Homo-oligomer: A and B are copies of this chain.
Amino acid sequence: MRADARRNRERIVEAARKVFGEAGNDAQMDDVAAAAGVGVGTVYRHFPNKDALIGELVNQKFIAIGKLLDEAAQADGDKGEALLRSLAKGAEQMEADMATQHALSGMPRPAVWEMCAMTVAGVNERSAKLIESGIASGSLRPDMTVADIRMLMGGVASTMADPSLSGGWRRHLELMLDALRAR
């Protein structure tokens, strides 16, 4: 791969994150190209279609979340609380990244979701271990499952995506974490 090609690919991903972060899923490919300082043709050389570009962004985000979970697994102290802290950090990282927000909150693009299947599976596996440990130690509600995380994070994402609720997502997250703790 030629040096300029690699550089452009980087630029495109970065620009996409910025543009989708501002306009959501209905940002335009032309805008991404402009923001990256390249032509649309170049964008399509690197990503066959819009979903593939979005998929790349979302996948990167899930990889980051996976790393957070790994850290949580190694931290000492209660694993359940560590998991909840990871979720909070994950939300923080997601704040300016509407591509991921839309992937999580209602009406997802199936193609995008498929691209991330592998990464998501890894994330789920790690979550499951932490949940099990947290339940055993009594810090998480006994009936908690990985599906709960998916739904609740989706909910927080939907709050983030709504401009009229700006900032409110931290409160939403807090309520959600409370719901997951054992009584």
Contact = CB atoms under 8 A, between A and B. Distances in A.
Interface stretch (A7-15, A64-72, A77-85, A148-156): A148-156
Contacts of A147: 165, 168, 171
Contacts of A107: 24-25, 102, 161-162
Interface string A139-183: 000000001101110111111111011001101100110111001
A86 interface: no
A105, A154, A155, most chain B CB atoms within 10 A: A155
Nearest to A108: B162
Nearest to A150: B165
A47 interface: no
A24 B108 CA distance: 12
A113 B165 CA distance: 13
Interface string A94-108: 000000011001111
A175 B168 contact: no
Nearest to A176: B179
A113 B164 contact: yes
Determine the main DSSP class of A at the interface with B: helix
A105 B161 CA distance: 8
A154 B162 contact: yes
A159, A160, A175, most chain B CB atoms within 10 A: A175
Contacts of A24: 107
27 contacts: A24-B107, A25-B107, A101-B106, A102-B106, A102-B107, A105-B105, A105-B162, A106-B158, A106-B159, A106-B162, A107-B161, A107-B162, A108-B164, A113-B164, A147-B165, A148-B172, A151-B159, A151-B169, A152-B155, A152-B175, A154-B158, A154-B159, A155-B156, A175-B179, A176-B179, A178-B179, A183-B183
